[in-house]
Structure 1
Amino acid sequence: MNTKLTLTMDKAVIEMAKKYAKEEGRSLSDLVENYFKMISSTSRTEEKIKEVAEDPTPYTTSLLGVMKLPKDFDPEKELQERREKKYLKK
């Protein structure tokens, strides 16, 4: 269920955000919603973002929180297993 939210911000920031949203082909509401999802996600902290990518792009960052991973998920182990499967064909 969608609910309306009113925010008060600097006019210049709003204009920049609208321009960015238009360039990305997304709505401002979508950008704000995904940002809130990202910062409120308990499974993805800023440190984990840096582990995944040294310099995440806004698009990559916007995808955080879209998927829920198991609590015991180990990205290093997963990557190693996939590499072994791909390159060490038995």
Structure 2
Amino acid sequence: MKAKLNLTIEQEILDQMKQFAARQKRSISEIVEDYFRVIAAPKKKESFVELVRSLEKPDIPDDLDLKKEYYEAKGRKYGL
């Protein structure tokens, strides 16, 4: 069921939103409703470990010595 909502906002923002809505071929009501839906949705907290595990693994050759590469890069950067 749809319900009415009265909002009071700055005229400049309203003008910008009308232009944006016209470019998107949507109504301001649709845009506001979608925004409310996003901010009202419960957030699923992902642990840091889950986030790291979900990242794409880099393609590093097995014979590459990362520690050596690190120090050589620092040496080039700082002229050591």
Aligned positions, number: 49
Which residue of structure 1 aligns with residue 27 of structure 2? 27
Provide the alpha-carbon RMSD of the alignment: 2.5
Query: Aligned partners of 1:31 and 1:12: how far apart in 2?
Result: 17
> TM (normalized to structure 2)?
0.54
- Secondary structure of the structure 2 residue equivalent to 1:34: helix
User: 1 or 2 for the larger relative contact order (CA 8 Å, sep ≥6)?
Assistant: 1
Query: Aligned partners of 1:24 and 1:44: how far apart in 2?
Result: 29
Taking a change above 3 Å as real, the CA distance of residues 6 and 43 of structure 1, as seen in their structure-2 partners, is: same
User: What residue ranges of structure 2 are gaps of 5+ in the alignment?
Assistant: 47-53, 55-80
Which residue of structure 2 aligns with residue 58 of structure 1? none
- Secondary structure of the structure 2 residue equivalent to 1:42: coil
Structure 1 residue ranges, 4+ long, deviating more than 6 angstroms after superposition: none
> TM (normalized to structure 1)?
0.48
Percent identity, please: 32
8 A Cα contact 1:38 1:44, kept in partner? no
